[in-house]
Amino acid sequence: MDGHLSAEEIEKFHKDGYLLIEDFLTHAECDVLKDSCHRVIQDADFSQHPKVTFDTTDNKQATDDYFITSGDKVRFFFEESVFNADGQLNCPKEKSLNKIGHALHDLVPEFKKVTFSDKMKNLAKSLELKKPAVVQSMYIFKQPNIGGTVVPHKDSSFLYTEPMKLYGVWIALEDACADNGCLWFVPGSHHEGPTLRLVRKEKDEGVTTVLEGQPPGNKPEEYIITPVKKGGLVLIHGDVVHKSEQNHSDRSRNIYTFHLFDSGISKWSPLNWLQPTDPFTLLY
């Protein structure tokens, strides 16, 4: 697999709004990312995390700041259920995380290598992207038993571009199945823009985000389950509706994901929570 898509794959992506590409990474390449993530966690100092730092667990501004300024950092986001009343973790730190974001692609060499690989460039070239810019990256854990639901959404609700030229790259580092919370998609739902937007709002004390509009209202039967074997990649159009269920199994469902947009023909919304401190790095 060298990243180039066939004419049939490109057509399927444009028709459905998502595309599964099996064996994009080898198992060994997946394991390098998992090991790298493990090292990042072991080296991490969680003392600056708002839920650890502040006794009052609803210090909204601290939580907002931690999220909104994470675009150029490696920061840790926990599952809700893992804190005691005194703000201490009730389980080992490597079992407590929901995700790490949002600059793994920039700051951690193993993730940078995969994100900016020739294979990835070929994938973007197959879609005829002019100036693809990588805007954010995340490692999502979907921990055994507690890995939470991700409600139906379009990524464009959070990362809006005008016109919509956002693409998600989602790579399974472990098998993603029905019981450990794989993705579900509504094929063809990318032909309409988002009905919900997360927008930044300036306040006296700083910046916050608010949700405006309504989430997608698709019926359960419209969703197509999309299991992905370790090493498989799902290409996700910014406007396609997708979701994942809670992990009910005793196996994790680790994935690496990043987003890019075509900065050659599209503008980054100034209302997005994520605003670049330096210009976004181009894939090519």
Structural contact between residues 111 and 29, judged by C-beta atoms closer than 8 angstroms:
no
Residues 137-166 that bind Fe ion (CB under 5 A): 155
Least distance in Å: CB of 142 to Fe ion? 13
Type of residue found at 144: P
Tell which residue, 18, 48, 14, 95, has the closest CA to residue 257.
18
| Cβ closest to Fe ion, residue 106 vs residue 155 | 155
Least distance in Å: CB of 152 to Fe ion? 10
The dihedral through the CA atoms of 93, 251, 239, 210 has a sign that is negative
Least distance in Å: CB of 168 to Fe ion? 6
| Cβ closest to Fe ion, residue 97 vs residue 138 | 138
* Residue 71 CB partners (closer than 8 Å, separation 6+): 102, 103, 135, 136, 274, 275, 276, 277
Structure tokens at 250: 């005793």
| Cβ closest to Fe ion, residue 258 vs residue 268 | 258
Least distance in Å: CB of 244 to Fe ion? 9
Measured from each CB, the residue nearest to Fe ion is 155
Residues 207-246 that bind Fe ion (CB under 5 A): none
Least distance in Å: CB of 154 to Fe ion? 8
Residues 81-100 that bind Fe ion (CB under 5 A): none
Q: What is the secondary structure of 75-98 as a DSSP string?
A: EEEE-GGGB-TTS-BSS-GGGTEE
What are the residues binding Fe ion (CB under 5 A)? 155
